[in-house]
Structure 1
Amino acid sequence: MSDHTLCDGLEVIQLDTPRSGGHNQYMFNLDTLTMLLRFSGLKRIHLSTICMSYLGDHAIGSIVRSLPHLEELVIGTGYFWSTPLRITFNGIATILSSCPNLRVLGLVFDATKLGPTTPTQILGERICNTNITSLRVGFSPIEQTPGVAVALWEILPCLSEIYLEFCTHADLDRDARVTKWGDVMKYINYHKLVWNR
């Protein structure tokens, strides 16, 4: 089989790693993930137990722009990562605009970096994915729950569930994150109720 056939024919990449004592033992960076760019036919990427903290908005954008057929993207949601996250709402907006067929999204991102504008205002276009009904956020940090809710509601209007990973790690703000992400879903449900009246 030729390299070209393999690159075009591969549709699924899934990797599960065991939990270890080191938080970031299984870490990918842009160089590692650049290899995925060769597989333009990929539909599913499931790397939930791999730390993606070194990837930023630009890096994740470079990757997903080369994967137009992507339907499922789950990266880094399996564990709590001690390395600060670099992906923000801009990265999520880029993923959604680059992958119109996406129906499963799981991504650890920094929801504290919302800023005064929403993702659609930043990019100046209407980004909206109605295929995604549940979002896996791992242990993504969050502060402004109303702002995060509005941003997610704009880009994921059919969102009905937000999943956090409930691994055994006990971080100081774990309970606060769980509460805040729960509040985000409550705000979204309220917006839906008001909008549908």
Structure 2
Amino acid sequence: MGRRKIKIEPIIDKHNRFICFSKRRAGLFKKANQLARRGFQIAVLAFTESGNAFVYGSPKVEEVVERFLHNSDATDGAGSSKATESLSKAPEDCKEQEQTEKVSSESAESAQQKDVSRETKERAEDGEDSWNSLSSALTESKHFWWNSSVENLSLKNLLQFKSALEALLTSVRIKADSLLVEQDFLAGFT
């Protein structure tokens, strides 16, 4: 009695696909962690149907993804991998590449920048709103910006506040998932 060999094929039913992903996610990140502990540079990016990102990377997701997207880690001509070549030939409007760039940019934003989305930052730089001044004023007064009163905000600022909260939620989910993966990995040794 050995294991049955399963056929690798796409799971069509959305509910079954979600269950399969949620069951196998921890194992995937555990294997990535094991490879990272053995000295490999690795990045795992998984996106759910709803667009939630689950990310693991060593040393950092941004560094590994950046290296493959921009070929900044030049190896000798014969030593370049097929993965590097395929990533460099990928079309720029590819959905996976856009999601990878979105996750790497969101992960790179620090807590001091209040995890404001890229569009919000561009609008703030153009002088279209006062979101940065509001968040910096709240930071200086030692209040957390997400606890501020929303009653006096305009519609534009409410939408920016909403997108900032969504970006914060995404970064919290990513951090929580990475901590869970580490916890599961360490539990395997006890």
- In terms of Rg, which structure is larger? 2
The structure with more helix, counted as a fraction of residues: 2
Q: TM-score range by the shorter chain?
A: under 0.3
